[in-house]
Chains A and B, each alone.
Chain A
C-alpha cells in the first residue's frame, strides 16, 4: 500500500504536474489521509470553519464534516491530552498548535503522557498523533511568535520530530507522520510557507511555483521518516540543516561558490545518521546550521554525534551556526537570524586549512 517515493523524486509518473506552496501541500496531505482513513481527525484553535490562521486546513471541514475537523477551546493542554485519549480509542488525531511558541501549556501531556504511553503500557496503548505547528522566525513575530523549540522535543524519548523544507516533502512527510503509530511533532517553517528564503530580508521572496520542489503529485505518496534529503552534492564540506535554514545555506553556498554537500535532515528523530556519516567521510568537514538558540540546541547533539562517529575523518573542528541565546527580539529579528554573514564566516573558518 505504501508506494514510498524515492528521496529526491519529483512528481511520480502518471500524475499531472501541480505546483503548490507549502500551505497547499500540507492541506493536500491532510485531505489525502482523511480520504483514505476516517480515523484521521483534525482539531485545533480556529482550524475548523476558518481553516486555520495560516489556512492550512482550509476547506477540510466542508469536505469531511465538523466531527472530523473542528475548532477547540484555547487550551493546548486540553488539545494534546484529548489527542492522547482519542489515540487510545483508535483515532489518528492531527492536532494543530497555532504557533509553536504556544505548545508549552501542552508540554506535560506531550512529554510525560503521549511520549511514554507505549513504553509504560508495554505497547498496550499508543498515541498515534501528529502535532502540527508553525515555527521559526523572520516574520516580525517577536519573542512569542518566532521561536524554534525543536530541541525540547528531540530530548524526549518516544517523540519523533519532523521538519519539512519543501512543499513536496511537506506532503510526503506529513502523510508518513499521520500513518506513524508514534506521536510526532511536525514543525512547519512558516517563513517558507509561500516560498524559499535566501536569508536576505530585503530581497523579495520567490513564490514556490518557481521551484521544482513545489511539484506535488496528486494523491498518496510517502517520504519515509528518518531519511535525509541530499540538497546539493559537493566535496568541500558537509552542511547539516533543516527547515528554513536549508534554503539560506543553499543560497550562501551558491553566492560564495562553495561546493557543499548539503543535507536537509527532514527528521531530527529518527535521524539519518547513515547519510550524515557517509557525507562527512567524503568531505571531512562539517557545518551545522539551525535557527534555534545555540545552547543545548539540536546542533549540539549533531556536533557530538559527528565527533563521536566521524572523528578520524574530520579535517577541521565541527562548527555550529545558530540563533543567539536570547529570546527573538521583535525589532532585531534579522540580527538574531543566522543569516548569510554568520554562515559565510563559519564556512570560511571550516575551509581555512
Chain B
C-alpha cells in the first residue's frame, strides 16, 4: 500500500472510507426492460436557434432532444425541414436500401463469403438523412457504421460488395477489413479500424478548406464509446480553437460492443454536452427521426458554411443488431431492449410519415422493399463473379507490395520476388481457380 506521511495532522484512516463507482447498465440478459427514465420530449417543442448564434445561447439543446416526427406521424415545430415528398421518398429509399444491403451482406458472411460484417440496423437515419443535408462534395470522415452515406451518395453498390469480398474487383486491392470503404470521388475518407482517429483528421481537413478559402465543409461520425479516445478531445479542441467548418456527429447507439454508454460517461451528462466545455455548438437529436437528423445536420452545415463555427451533434439512437458478425449481444443485454426502444424504428417512422401525409402507402413500401432486396441480390451476384474471400480471385498478387510507398524500394522489391517464388513453389501448375487462399 502507498505510504502515508508520518505525523500528518489528519490521519487518513480516521476519515470516511472511499468507494469506487463502476457503472452498470440497467438491464442484462433476461431482465424486463423499462425505458421510462428516458425523457422523450414532444415533437416540435425544441426551439431552433439562429444558425450563427453563440453556443452559450443554446445550452439547453445539448440536454434536450430535437424531434420533428410526432406520434401522429406528422412533422412538427421549428425543426421541420419541410422537405418535398420526392425528397422524403428518396430518403426512405436510401434507408430501405441500406437495410436490404445489411441483410444480404450479413448473410454473405454467415455463408463464408467474407470474414466480417457490421450492420447499422436502426441507425440508418443518422447516416442517410445527415448525408442528404450535406453537399455531395462536402468531405465526410465516417466510422464503420455509415454505409448509408455511400448509398445516399450513389457510390456503386458493386464496389461496396467487391470491397467486402476482398475480390479482384476490390479497388482497395483486398487490403482492408470488410466495410472499411474509401472513395475519394465521393468525398468519402478511407475508414480506419482504429477508433476515433478520423475525428481530428476531419477537423484538419476543414481547417485546410478554410485556409484555402474553399466552400466545402467536413463532417465526421464517431460512436459514443469512441468519444472516450483522446483523439476525439483533440478534435474538439482544434475545432473550437480554429472555428473550423466541421460537424462532429456522435452516434450514441447505447452500446460499444458489450459496454453500455455509461462507460463513455453517459451516466453524468449527454454526449452533446461535451460541446459546452469546448465552446462548441451542441445539439442532441432523436436519431431515429429521419427529419430531425436532416434538420440538425443542415443547421450545422449552414453554421459551418457561414463561418459561424463547428457543431457537435449527438444522435440518440439504438444499435438494434449485434456489434458485428463476431458479436453475440444476447450475452450482455436484454433481448427486450430492441422492442422497447422508445424512439421506434427510423425506417418505419419515415414510412408512416409519408403515408400520413398521403404520399405513400403500404403497397408501394412493399414493392420498394422487394425491389431493394432484388437489387442487392443482383449486384451481389455480379460481385461474386469477381470472387469471394479466400477463393483465389483476389487482386493481382504483386499489388500486395504496392502503395506502401509511392515507389517500391529495394527491400520491398526483394520481398516481392520472394513472395512470387513462394507462390510458384506452392502452385507449380499455376493458381487453381477455386478454393485457394494464395
Most chain B Cβ neighbours within 10 Å, of A53, A70, A335: A335
Looking at the complex, which of A72-80, A246-254, A260-268 is the stretch in contact with chain B? A72-80
The complex places the Cα of A70 from the Cα of B259 at a distance, in Å, of 10
Is A4 on the interface with B (CB-CB < 8 A)?
Answer: no
| Cross-chain contact A74 with B115 (CB below 8 angstroms) | no
* Residue ID in chain B nearest A146 by CB atoms: B177
| Cross-chain contact A145 with B193 (CB below 8 angstroms) | yes
The complex places the Cα of A334 from the Cα of B431 at a distance, in Å, of 14
Is B215 on the interface with A (CB-CB < 8 A)?
Answer: no
The complex places the Cα of A341 from the Cα of B428 at a distance, in Å, of 13
Is A119 on the interface with B (CB-CB < 8 A)?
Answer: no
Residues 193-233 (chain B) with a chain A CB within 8 angstroms: 193-196, 225-226, 228-231
A336 is contacted by which of B19, B331, B400 (Cβ under 8 Å)? B400
Is B58 on the interface with A (CB-CB < 8 A)?
Answer: no
* Residue ID in chain B nearest A89 by CB atoms: B2
Is A325 on the interface with B (CB-CB < 8 A)?
Answer: yes
| Cross-chain contact B230 with A75 (CB below 8 angstroms) | yes
B412 is contacted by which of A88, A89, A324, A335 (Cβ under 8 Å)? A324
The complex places the Cα of A253 from the Cα of B23 at a distance, in Å, of 52
| Cross-chain contact A46 with B258 (CB below 8 angstroms) | yes
Ordered by A's residue number, 23 sampled pairs between the chains whose C-beta atoms are within 8 Å are: A50-B258, A67-B20, A73-B264, A74-B195, A74-B225, A75-B229, A75-B230, A78-B230, A140-B389, A141-B177, A143-B175, A143-B176, A143-B177, A144-B177, A145-B177, A201-B437, A294-B415, A295-B411, A326-B415, A329-B400, A330-B178, A330-B389, A341-B422
Most chain B Cβ neighbours within 10 Å, of A45, A145, A333: A45
Is A71 on the interface with B (CB-CB < 8 A)?
Answer: yes
| Cross-chain contact A325 with B331 (CB below 8 angstroms) | no
| Cross-chain contact B175 with A72 (CB below 8 angstroms) | no
Residues of chain B with a CB closer than 8 A to A77's CB: 229-230
A109 → chain B closest CB, angstroms = 10
* Residue ID in chain A nearest B395 by CB atoms: A331
**Chief secondary structure at chain B's binding surface:** loop
Q: A201-B437, A335-B423 are in contact. Are A325 and B257 (CB under 8 A)?
A: no
| Cross-chain contact A70 with B22 (CB below 8 angstroms) | yes
Taking residues whose C-beta sits less than 8 angstroms from the other chain, chain B's interface range is 35 or more
Q: Which residues of B contact A (CB under 8 A)?
A: 1-2, 19-20, 22-24, 28, 115-116, 166-167, 170, 173-178, 180, 192-196, 225-226, 228-231, 256-259, 263-265, 326-327, 331-332, 389-390, 394-395, 397, 400-401, 404, 411-412, 415, 418-419, 421-423, 425-426, 437-438
19 new A-B contacts at CB < 8 Å, known A73-B263, A141-B177, A345-B425: A46-B257, A49-B332, A50-B257, A53-B257, A67-B22, A74-B264, A141-B115, A144-B193, A202-B437, A294-B411, A324-B415, A326-B415, A329-B174, A330-B166, A331-B390, A331-B395, A332-B394, A332-B400, A334-B437
B33 → chain A closest CB, angstroms = 17
Residues of chain A with a CB closer than 8 A to B24's CB: 66
The complex places the Cα of A294 from the Cα of B418 at a distance, in Å, of 13
Q: Which residues of A contact B (CB under 8 A)?
A: 45-46, 48-50, 53, 66-67, 70-78, 88-90, 101-102, 104-105, 140-145, 201-202, 294-295, 324-327, 329-336, 339, 341-342, 345
| Cross-chain contact B176 with A142 (CB below 8 angstroms) | yes
| Cross-chain contact A102 with B397 (CB below 8 angstroms) | no
A243 → chain B closest CB, angstroms = 21
| Cross-chain contact A342 with B418 (CB below 8 angstroms) | yes
Residues of chain A with a CB closer than 8 A to B389's CB: 140, 330-331
Residues of chain A with a CB closer than 8 A to B28's CB: 49
| Cross-chain contact B115 with A78 (CB below 8 angstroms) | no
Residues of chain B with a CB closer than 8 A to A67's CB: 19-20, 22
| Cross-chain contact B229 with A331 (CB below 8 angstroms) | no
Residues of chain A with a CB closer than 8 A to B177's CB: 141-145, 330
Q: A105-B229, A295-B411 are in contact. Are A71 and B263 (CB under 8 A)?
A: yes
| Cross-chain contact B192 with A144 (CB below 8 angstroms) | yes
B226 → chain A closest CB, angstroms = 5
The complex places the Cα of A102 from the Cα of B226 at a distance, in Å, of 12
Residues of chain A with a CB closer than 8 A to B178's CB: 330
* Residue ID in chain B nearest A331 by CB atoms: B174
Residues of chain A with a CB closer than 8 A to B401's CB: 324, 326
| Cross-chain contact A101 with B264 (CB below 8 angstroms) | no
Residues of chain B with a CB closer than 8 A to A46's CB: 257-259
The complex places the Cα of A141 from the Cα of B404 at a distance, in Å, of 18
B218 → chain A closest CB, angstroms = 22
| Cross-chain contact B331 with A50 (CB below 8 angstroms) | yes
A32 → chain B closest CB, angstroms = 22
| Cross-chain contact B397 with A73 (CB below 8 angstroms) | no
Most chain A Cβ neighbours within 10 Å, of B24, B170, B230, B265: B230
| Cross-chain contact A325 with B412 (CB below 8 angstroms) | yes
* Residue ID in chain B nearest A143 by CB atoms: B175
The complex places the Cα of A141 from the Cα of B28 at a distance, in Å, of 29
B28 → chain A closest CB, angstroms = 7
| Cross-chain contact B229 with A332 (CB below 8 angstroms) | no
Q: A145-B193, A335-B423 are in contact. Are A326 and B230 (CB under 8 A)?
A: no
B372 → chain A closest CB, angstroms = 28
A100 → chain B closest CB, angstroms = 12
Residues of chain B with a CB closer than 8 A to A72's CB: 263
* Residue ID in chain B nearest A341 by CB atoms: B422
Most chain A Cβ neighbours within 10 Å, of B167, B423, B425: B425
The complex places the Cα of A78 from the Cα of B394 at a distance, in Å, of 40
The complex places the Cα of A324 from the Cα of B417 at a distance, in Å, of 11
| Cross-chain contact B438 with A329 (CB below 8 angstroms) | no
Residues of chain B with a CB closer than 8 A to A141's CB: 115, 177
Residues of chain A with a CB closer than 8 A to B395's CB: 331
A140 → chain B closest CB, angstroms = 4
The complex places the Cα of A326 from the Cα of B422 at a distance, in Å, of 17
| Cross-chain contact A75 with B176 (CB below 8 angstroms) | no
A208 → chain B closest CB, angstroms = 21
Residues of chain B with a CB closer than 8 A to A334's CB: 437-438
A14 → chain B closest CB, angstroms = 34
Residues of chain B with a CB closer than 8 A to A50's CB: 257-258, 331-332
B244 → chain A closest CB, angstroms = 22
Which 6 A-B pairs give the minimum distances between C-beta atoms?
A144-B193, A331-B174, A73-B228, A50-B258, A331-B166, A142-B177
A295 → chain B closest CB, angstroms = 7
Residues of chain A with a CB closer than 8 A to B258's CB: 46, 49-50, 53, 71
| Cross-chain contact A142 with B332 (CB below 8 angstroms) | no
| Cross-chain contact A140 with B426 (CB below 8 angstroms) | no
A277 → chain B closest CB, angstroms = 29
Residues of chain B with a CB closer than 8 A to A105's CB: 194, 229-231
* Residue ID in chain A nearest B191 by CB atoms: A144
The complex places the Cα of A46 from the Cα of B426 at a distance, in Å, of 41
B323 → chain A closest CB, angstroms = 9
The complex places the Cα of A88 from the Cα of B225 at a distance, in Å, of 28
The complex places the Cα of A333 from the Cα of B177 at a distance, in Å, of 11
* Residue ID in chain A nearest B327 by CB atoms: A53
| Cross-chain contact B415 with A74 (CB below 8 angstroms) | no
Residues of chain A with a CB closer than 8 A to B422's CB: 335, 339, 341-342, 345
The complex places the Cα of A67 from the Cα of B390 at a distance, in Å, of 44
